[in-house]
Amino acid sequence: MINDFVTKLVRKEALTSNVYLFEFSLVDQQKLEFIAGQYMLLKVDGQYRQFSIVTPENITDRFELVIELYEDGLASNFLKTCNIGDAVEFKGPAGVFTLHPTSREVVFLVTGTGIAPIKSMIETSLTKENSPIMHLYWGLRHLDDVYFAKSLMSIASQNSRLTVDICLSQETETHDFRSGRVNAIFKEDMDKKNTLDLNFDFYLCGSPRSVEGIYQSVIDLGVPSAQIFFEKFVKHG
């Protein structure tokens, strides 16, 4: 159910030059009950902007968002000047981009801040007994764009049900990261396994352009559209 929330900003951390992590704690003993993958609507000057919840479902007294800040964005400008302790209003949770029960392995092909709902899905899923085997391919451009690498890789090292590949499209391969686009690297891995078995559920998230490109490449591999779920981070309006 969508509710109104008054929150307090408790953490604001630059992850890269233009991507920030914001943590909001709920006030008045409110609880946020949501399904991993859903988003919140941030209220600024009577308008709303959508941002996906990063934290897993079992955290209900606060939530984190990872937000790319734009020069001339309404929410971006508001968040840039927001200070720790400030009251911030939201509506939520909303959205239907959530994990579907499945007996198949799950492949996440995501770019940029599209990691936000996926991190919540992965962490939530791993707390459950029937968690599917999951493969995360996360695309960024440069080394400087990387965040969450340590925490994602540490989750993967403790869980045989998760693999993580961070794919940098504008860098050469390093020990920790792969070089290239997520869809190309996923295909390369399939080719290496020499398998035509594409019995996966795919979850795509990121900018509209990247989701559309990745969607087409997954379709081109022969995957039925019923096995592909996506969220496009369209800009408001």
Ligand X SMILES: Cc1cc2nc3c(=O)[nH]c(=O)nc-3n(C[C@H](O)[C@H](O)[C@H](O)COP(=O)(O)OP(=O)(O)OC[C@H]3O[C@@H](n4cnc5c(N)ncnc54)[C@H](O)[C@@H]3O)c2cc1C
Positions touching ligand X (CB under 6 A) are: 39, 49-52, 65-68, 70, 72-76, 95, 113, 116, 207, 231, 233-236
- Tell me the residue type at 121: M
Q: CB-wise, 9 or 74, nearer to ligand X?
A: 74
Q: Give the Cβ contact number of residue 165 at 10 Å.
A: 18
Q: CB-wise, 13 or 188, nearer to ligand X?
A: 13
Q: CB-wise, 47 or 174, nearer to ligand X?
A: 47
User: Minimum Å distance from CB 70 to ligand X?
Assistant: 4
Q: CB-wise, 50 or 125, nearer to ligand X?
A: 50
For every residue of the chain, which 3-state class applies, written as one string?
A: CCEEEEEEEEEEEECCCCEEEEEEEECCCCCCCCCCCCEEEEEECCEEEEEECCCCCCCCCEEEEEEECCCCCHHHHHHHHCCCCCEEEEEEEECCCCCCCCCCEEEEEEEHHHHHHHHHHHHHHHCCCCCCCEEEEEEECCHHHCCCHHHHHHHHHHCCCEEEEEEECCCCCCCCCEECCHHHHHHHHHHHHCCCCCCEEEEEEECHHHHHHHHHHHHHCCCCHHHEEEEECCCCC
User: Minimum Å distance from CB 115 to ligand X?
Assistant: 9
Q: CB-wise, 39 or 200, nearer to ligand X?
A: 39
User: Minimum Å distance from CB 91 to ligand X?
Assistant: 13
User: Minimum Å distance from CB 15 to ligand X?
Assistant: 11
Give me the residue whose beta carbon is nearest to ligand X.
Answer: 73
User: Minimum Å distance from CB 173 to ligand X?
Assistant: 27
User: Minimum Å distance from CB 66 to ligand X?
Assistant: 6
Q: CB-wise, 11 or 199, nearer to ligand X?
A: 11
> In angstroms, rounded to a whole number, what is the distance separating the alpha carbons of residues 205 and 194?
27
